[in-house]
Amino acid sequence: MTEDLMIPLPEGEIQMRDDRLKREWTVQLAPFLLAKYQVTQEFYSELVGTNPSEYQGQKRPVETVSWHEAVIFCNALSTQEGLSPFYSMDEASERVSLNTDASGYRLPTEAEWEYACKAGTTGIRYGELDQIAWYKSNSQGTTRPVGEKQPNPWGLYDMLGNVWEWCSDIYDETVYGSYRVLRGGGWNDVARGCMATNRRRSHPTSFRIDDLGFRIAKNQI
């Protein structure tokens, strides 16, 4: 059932940039799978048994989850489907290592996320903002059910707006330690917060907020 919600994306290349760091870099990407929708509260609670979301609604994206909790969800889903877990976790130290050849579910890298968000387009967004995203000007101060706005050219919904999405990567270990990347903008962001190129970061275990969720990815094996 989960496989039906995963969209196969082709190999490719993405040019990344960070204006704060004054840095640009290119990433080569292998084919991978990405979920059509952000993880919903229904999906999350059925697997984990709890729903931490501030704005309740089964078809709304789950939010108020840490990066670490998103990773636990990915491993639990992998185990349920008989796949090898992508993450190895030491609960005592909260250290996480990656099993990059695993068949199980994971968070996308930020390069995969941006590549998928742009879906072959070249601008800061893949469409007109009001048509593709829930953000401060149209959200009425809350999350919205996933999949109600227009998808991008690759059939992915809510890549911008609704909730920010955790990515697998560490942002800048030399400056921020274990802080992880989040992308995409959320329901409480103004237009300039909802761009394919925006990069933010926060602590992987302690940061939870009502406009931050996640979307699952998977190696194409």
- Summarize pLDDT for 143-199 with one digit per residue, the tens: 999 999 999 999 999 999 999 999 999 887 666 778 999 999 999 999 999 999 998
What is the C-alpha end-to-end distance of the chain, expressed in Å?
Answer: 18
- Domains of the chain: residue spans and CATH: 2-219 (3.90.1580.10)
DSSP type of residue 14: E
Residues 35 and 217: beta-carbon distance below 8 Å: yes
- Summarize pLDDT for 60-101 with one digit per residue, the tens: 999 999 999 999 999 999 999 999 999 998 776 678 999 999
Which contacts (CB < 8 Å, 24+ apart) does range 87-95 have?
94/68, 94/204, 94/205
Is the per-residue pLDDT at 121 higher than 60? yes
- DSSP-derived pairing of the beta strands 164-170 and 23-29: unpaired
Look up the pTM and report it. Answer: 0.94
Q: Which residues contact 156 (CB under 8 A, 6 or more apart)?
A: 7, 34, 36, 116, 117, 119
Distance CA(176)–CA(181), nearest Å, equals 11
DSSP type of residue 3: G
pLDDT given for residue 177 in this prediction: 76
Residues 50 and 70: beta-carbon distance below 8 Å: no
How many angstroms separate the Cα of 122 from the Cα of each of 48, 93, 125, 148? 38, 41, 8, 24
The mean pLDDT of 99-118, rounded to a whole number, is 96
Q: Hey, is 29 helix, strand or coil?
A: strand
pLDDT given for residue 207 in this prediction: 95
pLDDT given for residue 95 in this prediction: 83
- Summarize pLDDT for 3-37 with one digit per residue, the tens: 678 999 999 999 988 777 778 889 999 999 999 99
Residues 18 and 2: beta-carbon distance below 8 Å: no
